[in-house]
Structure 1
Amino acid sequence: MICVSCGKTIDDDSRFCAECGARQPELNVPDALAKEDAPALSEAADPVPEAEEKPAPKEPGPAAPYDPATAYGASEKENAGSIMAAYAPDYSSSQQPYGTQGGYSPADDDGFAPSDYNAQYGGIPYSPQPEPVPEPEPVPAEKAPSKVGAGKIILAGFVSVLAVAVLTLLSLALCVKLGVTGSLVRRRIEKMVPDNVLGADFDGESLSDNMYKGLGFDDITHGKADRFAFRDFMTKTNFLSFVGDKAAGYVDCIIGGSEQDPSVSVSEIIGFFEENSDVSEECFGYSLQTADYNTMRKNIEKENFCEDISVSGLSNSAGFGLQNISFIFSYITLGILLALTLVLLIWIVVVVDRRAKHITGAYGAIFFWSGIIVLVCAAAVSVGAALIYVITGWFEYYVTASVLLPFAAFAGITGLFEIILGLVFRKVRKSIRAKERRDRAVQKALAEN
């Protein structure tokens, strides 16, 4: 049988549903079945049934004509109808129909009373509860980056100027340390053209004419060697090698910090002419004698030539000790300049609150302008000195353009590297500014929408 309330299958003789407790309608048993079952029930109850009076048999009446087709079907239909009627539920008006609002409550039935135990211990049917999901932690809103004030920008600009000066000094000192050494100066002087050196203008006259008059070569040779013959004589000697050796000593003392005094003495000058006595005989047909060398020594001492070109004499003329210049190009000084440059670069980062746009802009300006200054110095030493020598013919510019060529090469490479590095920083700054403009445009568009 099926429950009229919840639809569950229950026993046929159950009055209440085991699932929902709803009362089931009673089955109306037909009278024919009740009468048939009554004797069996009475006999089972009373083992000794009383004698019943049997009715007298009725007299048979006239029989109806027999129809096999209808007789069998009629009996079957009657039996089927009686069986269905016996088991059909009786829905009375007193009971609420199945599925109506309000439903059937077992508490309304007098024959069913829920026990207190069920009310106390009968829990609500179990239903799985979802596990509590932890609430996400609140994400603080991103603060808009504060702008760098004008005072900080001005301070960063001042620090950038100091950084340019220090970085330029560091670059030039390093180039001098690498490009101006005794060995390089010696090789550069030996590669110079002797005729150009002797013919260069020195104090209004050529260098060879000044030497010719200072040594008194006309009197020593008794008029056999004029100034043109003297220039030819100096060209054929190892004049440049002698000068190169002495110049290398000066450079090692002034730039390299050597403790040896490289000053040229009178004896060294006289020794040079003694070594080239055979060349003098070849050029003007006269071999210098000992008396001639003594006369030459007196003339040199009278002119104070050796004292003037000595380290002490040059220091007196400059007003400070030339030996102290070596401290500028020492490795200790280079390390101090490098550390100071790094401190200034870090200071800029702190001043601008580590804003990439301002940092890259300041670094780009520092390296760019330092590279420009170093490159200008390299061009002035090499190209500028050479052009001035071509125009004026002065001895100093010819020596500068020739001897300091390695320094100019190192300075040019350093300057170009710093310029390229500065341009890279500027390129990065432009890309950062472009990204900021795009972000502002996107935020503005989102705000408008």
Structure 2
Amino acid sequence: MKCNKCGSEMPDDALFCTECGSSLKEEEAHDVFVDNEPTSILPHLEEVIADNEETLSLTQEQAQLLDDEPTEILSTADTVVIPEPSPIPPAENVFDEPASFPKQEEAPEPPVNGAPDSLNDNSDTMKIPIQNEPYSSYNVHTNQFSGNSSGAQSGSFAPPPLMPQAQHPQAPVQPTPAPSPAPAPMPAQSESKPKAKAKVGGGRIFAASLVTVFTIIFLLLVSLLTAVKVGADGSIIRRRAEKLDADTTLTAKFDGKEMSKTLYDSLGFRTATKGAADEAGFKRFMLASDFREYAGEVAEGYLDYIIDGDGSDPSITAEDFVNDFIRGNKDASSKEFDYDLTESDYDLLQKNLEKDNFSDTMNVKEWNRKLGFDVDKVSYATSFITIGILGALFLLFLIWIAAIVRKRARFVTGFYGTIFTFVGLIVFLTGLAIVVGSAIGFTFTHNVCFYLAESLLLPFSVMLIAIGAAELIIGFLFRKTKKSLKKKERKAAAALATVQ
């Protein structure tokens, strides 16, 4: 039987078509179906073959080499001769038109299998060329685009396949670029001249000079406060007071008289002892007493309160002095004067000191009234926090100076050298003046104040001398560097002038 769908020959007991898969149950009820619609890209090929059956010479074996659809159609004749076909109308395209691409320049291709013309693989339909020789004389190849032309006979033509093949877009052939002209020779580059440094005018020099004044003030404050904080501490002064020479201290002059006589008169000690104590005896009493330790403790209290802000008001009165010092050395006075002081005697000594304004002289509040500010506020200035802030401001001014003079090394080192040298000289001379000046002053005047300054403030003076010497060394290095840079600039300017 034959399939009513594709017309293929099937066995009588077949239930399905082996070609198209259609059911053959109702095979007897229907006539053999003949598909009149074109099944390949060669429309109306059946009509062409039917009209030219006598001229076709294609044998059954040769037709089997073709694809399935032509084989089914050409299998009814022994030989088929394909004449020149009539123009074939283009098949109706039911799909959307392919996307258009920009036109590219086509390069010539070599002929395939000796064919005079190349196959246009981008055509919508296949066209059969006119055949003048029997189809049996052609050597049919299933793949004529394999690129192997050794199997083709001389003068033979391999027809295109009847089934459409997948269209592959031909890779665009890039046009051969024209040879670029030889590059022009590079012009000889002149030697790059060094960039001229920005000049530092008079206005910048003046501004830097003003900032230098403030920088000197801040560095001077930092130096002095550091020396006070470290070298004039209360404990240091107390230890220095305990090492004073007792005889030198008592024989030194105060208000035109020796220190011991001044104290003897202020206390009214002769009257208080009923004439038992004379001036020489009082001096011996003072040497036997602990007046140096007492003076050290009093000085430590004042300095801790003023410099460090520790403790309460350290002011002592006449009553404090009599009770703490005179009563504290009662044994020494009894031994020296062979007289024991009574309570009325102590009251008399106190009243005599009050007449001499002893309490006002040693009162901190009285100091504040005379000076115009609270001396206890000095502790804020001498604190390490304040010293650190002043040091930071000093560094900020140094940076500011460098920015004003455009970071020119010669100017920077010049200003820095001036700052450190000036401050170092002041600090160094101050420390030296306390030590040397006090010694010279005491030698000529024999005043107790010079002696106390020389002895008690020695650590403070040493600190000032050390800080000042360090600043002088730093200033000397900056000034030396400035001279060296200036000398180099002069040599460079002279060399440049010689070259020009």
| Range 341-350 or range 267-276, more displaced | 267-276
Distance 1:400 1:195 in 2: 16
Confirm whether residue 327 of structure 1 aligns to residue 386 of structure 2.
no
- Partners of 1:438 and 1:139 lie apart in 2 by 21
Aligned position for 1:197: 249
Q: What does 1:179-258 align with in structure 2 at a 5 Å threshold?
A: 179-258=231-310
Report whether the alignment pairs 1:401 with 2:458: no
Greater RCO between the two (CA within 8 Å, min separation 6)?
Answer: 1
User: Where does residue 151 of structure 1 map in the other structure?
Assistant: 203
2:335 is the alignment partner of 1:289: no
My pick for the range that moved more, 351-360 or 306-315, is 306-315
Q: Is the CA contact (8 Å cut-off) linking 1:264 and 1:310 kept in structure 2?
A: yes
Task: For residue 466 of structure 2, give the secondary structure of its aligned residue in structure 1.
Answer: helix
How far the C-alpha of 1:392 sits from its partner, in A, is 0.9
- Distance change >3 Å, CA 428–CA 275, structure 1 → 2: same
The residue aligned with 1:378 is: 431
String of CA shifts for 1:226-253, please: whole Å, max 9, x gaps: 1111011101110110010011000011
The answer on 1:436 being equivalent to 2:485 is no
Q: Percent identity?
A: 38
1:283 and 1:259 map into 2 onto residues whose CA distance is 36
Deviations 1:64-116 (A, max 9, x none): xxxxxxxxxxxxxxxxxxxxxxxxxxxxxxxxxxxxxxxxxxxxxxxxxxxxx
- Alignment deviations for residues 384-436 of structure 1 (CA, whole Å, 9 cap, x no partner): 12211111112222111111111110110000000000111111112211221
Residues 1:388 and 2:388 are matched in the alignment: no
8 Å Cα contact 1:215/1:296 also seen in 2: yes
Which one is further off, 282-291 or 256-265?
282-291
**C-alpha displacement of 1:267:** 3.6
Correspondence for 2:468: 415
- 4+ residue segments displaced more than 6 Å: 129-140
Deviation string 1:321-366 (CA, Å, 9 cap, x unpaired) is 2112222212232122112211211111111111111001110111
Contact 1:270-1:296 at 8 Å conserved across structures = no
The residue type paired with residue 344 of structure 1 is F
TM-score normalised by the chain length of structure 2 = 0.60
1:277 is matched with: 330
Greater fraction of residues in helix: 1
TM-superposition CA deviations, 1:109-160 (whole Å, max 9, x none) = xxxxxxxxxxxxxxxxxxxx99999999999643211321111112212222
Per-residue Cα deviation, 1:9-56 (whole angstroms, up to 9, x for no partner) = xxxxxxxxxxxxxxxxxxxxxxxxxxxxxxxxxxxxxxxxxxxxxxxx
Instruction: Using the TM superposition, give the Cα deviation of residue 308 of structure 1 relative to its aligned residue in structure 2, in angstroms.
Output: 2.6
Is 1:176 matched with 2:228?
yes
Give the aligned residue type for 1:157: S
Give the conservation status (yes or no) of the 8 Å contact 2:322–2:346. no
**Cα separation, 2, equivalents of 1:426 and 1:316:** 46
- Supply the distance in 2 between the matched residues of 1:303 and 1:425 (Cα, whole angstroms): 56
Q: How does 1:23-62 map to 2 (within 5 A)?
A: none
The equivalences for 1:288-367 within 5 A come to: 288-367=341-420
On the 8 A contact 1:386/1:397 being kept in 2, the answer is yes
Go from structure 1 to structure 2 and tell me whether the alpha carbon gap of 1:386 and 1:443 turns closer, same or farther (over 3 Å shift): same
C-alpha contact (below 8 Å) 1:253/1:260 kept by paired residues: yes
List alignment gaps of at least 5 residues for structure 2: 1-180
SS in 2 for 1:354: coil
Residue of structure 2 in register with 1:65 after alignment: none
Partner of 2:119: none
Distance in 2 (CA, whole Å) between partners of 1:213 and 1:192 is 23
Structure 1 residues 104-183: aligned runs within 5 Å: 141-183=193-235
Q: Distance in 1 between matches of 2:274 and 2:498?
A: 100
**SS of alignment partner, residue 308 of structure 2:** coil
Amino acid corresponding to residue 247 of structure 1 in structure 2: A
Contact kept in structure 1, 2:420 and 2:472, CA below 8 Å: yes
Structure 1 gap ranges (5+): 1-128
For residues 194 and 380 of structure 1, what CA distance do their matches in structure 2 show?
24
TM-score between both structures, scaled by the size of structure 1: 0.67
User: What CA RMSD, in Å, does the superposition of the two structures yield over aligned residues?
Assistant: 2.5
